[in-house]
Amino acid sequence: MSLNITFVLSLLIALSVMGSAFGQERDDRATILNFTGIQYKSKDSLFYTNFRFRMQNRLGYSNVLDGIENDKFEARIRRLRMRMDGYIYTPKISYSVQLAFSRGDQDFDDSGVPNIVRDAVLFYNFSDDFYVSFGQNKLPGNRQRVNSSGSLQFADRSLVNSNFTVDRDFGISFNLSKKLGHMPVNAKAAISTGEGRPVNTTDDGLAYTGRIEFLPLGDFTNDNDYSEGDLEREKRPKLSIGGGYSYNDRTIREGGQTGKFVQNPFTLKTAFADAIFKYQGFAYQAEYMRRDVDNPLNITDEGEDSEATYAYKGWGVNQQTSYLLNHGYEIAGRYTFIQPHQDIKVYESQIEVLELGLTKYLKAHRLKFQLNANYMVKDGYYNNTHRKNSWGGTFQVELGI
């Protein structure tokens, strides 16, 4: 009984101080410094772990303007995650474990398996500015992917990220942070299996991913470049420019690390470039991604029951901007454009998405209320009579420590 009371009190204390005390959540490194939530350290200081969770509860609605009664309602737990970070024997050997408990967060529909484990990764920290990781973790991909889903200013990432991201994978990564003169530079590289979370075995067709970031105006406050919106109200202009490339050799999934499994492997070549700027509550970010596939179509079976699958080939741009008002309110707008390659035009349309967002931050990204509205345009026809267009809205509450 006393243990349960202690746990509840610890949780309440953690909730009362969550937010600015933690800085921004990073998925690419274990959080073992300046953590003030639920934690434990052995008396000899040779073992340390901390615990946190977060959940996203969502209501949503969407409607395609095709004249058919096809209203779609969404009421679910979008994410429920638990995470443990810590070290064993020495802070140089740290780890991060993240588990997912909602169906939409487990890659279940594509793989048919409830993939509970999102991260299980070991870090060896040679120094503050150089570390190596081994295990399952995010690849050093596009800006919106390397940002935690708990640090977004819209309920979901953009469709550019959905169609082109390299996501999580099992492998080894190298992470270096240095300065060129007074300019911070972050370089990351990874070699991974190429098939994402659900696989047990892999072949010799691996994935090779790299990313580099330049911060010409200096470091952001509290890793503010790894979250959306300027909650830190940067006192001086801050800018991060990043880019990278991923070569996934002979993957057996439509999206490389994501998507349905196929019989004939693809080789995916994904390039990305992005930038984020923040100053006194104003934030702007832009992201470009392009994927090339030599033979994107994949016929899985022959005969009358044949089914064509394909890897998404094309390019897209996402832009979003926001301003933090008084009392923790933020207004945001987003424009997304996706152009499929001619090779898959039979299956995919040109897409544009316009979104508006209103967020109320109670404790930064740890406790927030989000209201989003969107309008999706197919093939460039903005007329509401176009039967492929759709509109929708989302209300989401996020709570975490």
Q: Say whether 347 sits in a helix, a strand or coil.
A: coil
Tens digit of pLDDT for each residue in 321-340?
A: 999 999 999 999 999 999 99
Supply the pLDDT for residue 70.
Answer: 77
Supply the pLDDT for residue 18.
Answer: 40
Q: How far apart are CA 153 and CA 226, in angstroms?
A: 12
- Decide if pLDDT at 23 tops 70: no
- Decide if pLDDT at 227 tops 50: yes
- Decide if pLDDT at 305 tops 80: no
Q: Which structural domain, as residue segments, surrounds residue 60?
A: 2-400
On average, the pLDDT of the chain sits at 90
User: Can you name the residues that pair with 287 across neighbouring β-strands?
Assistant: 274, 318
Supply the pLDDT for residue 24.
Answer: 56
Q: How far apart are CA 126 and CA 92, in angstroms?
A: 7
Supply the pLDDT for residue 12.
Answer: 39
Supply the pLDDT for residue 8.
Answer: 38
- Decide if pLDDT at 312 tops 80: yes
- Decide if pLDDT at 161 tops 50: yes
pLDDT tier at 67, thresholds 50, 70, 90 = confident
Average the pLDDT over 102-109 and give the result: 89
Would you put residue 327 in left (φ > 0), alpha (ψ -120 to 50) or beta? Answer: left
Average the pLDDT over 257-280 and give the result: 95
The model scores a pTM over 0.85: yes
User: Which of 10-19, 69-78, 261-270 bottoms out in mean pLDDT, i.e. has the lowest?
Assistant: 10-19
Supply the pLDDT for residue 316.
Answer: 98
- Decide if pLDDT at 66 tops 50: yes
pLDDT tier at 25, thresholds 50, 70, 90 = low
pLDDT tier at 14, thresholds 50, 70, 90 = very low
pLDDT tier at 270, thresholds 50, 70, 90 = very high
> Cα angle at 255 between 249 and 261, to 5 degrees?
90
Domain CATH for 111: 2.40.160.10
Q: Say whether 280 sits in a helix, a strand or coil.
A: coil
Q: What percent of the chain has pLDDT over 90?
A: 77
Q: Which has more confidence, 8 or 383? A: 383
Average the pLDDT over 277-287 and give the result: 98
Tens digit of pLDDT for each residue in 187-204?
A: 999 999 999 998 888 888
Q: How far apart are CA 83 and CA 209, in angstroms?
A: 25
- Decide if pLDDT at 31 tops 80: yes
Q: How far apart are CA 75 and CA 174, in angstroms?
A: 40
- Decide if pLDDT at 7 tops 80: no
Q: Tell me which residue of 303, 43, 31, 305 sits closest to 148, measured CA to CA.
A: 31
pLDDT tier at 386, thresholds 50, 70, 90 = confident
- Decide if pLDDT at 11 tops 60: no
pLDDT tier at 384, thresholds 50, 70, 90 = confident
**CA dist 352 to 158, 271, 357, 376, Å?**
11, 20, 17, 6
Answer yes or no: are the C-beta atoms of 157 and 149 closer than 8 Å.
yes
- Total structural domains in the chain? 1
pLDDT tier at 178, thresholds 50, 70, 90 = very high
Tens digit of pLDDT for each residue in 350-372?
A: 999 999 999 999 999 999 999 99
Q: Which has more confidence, 197 or 27? A: 197
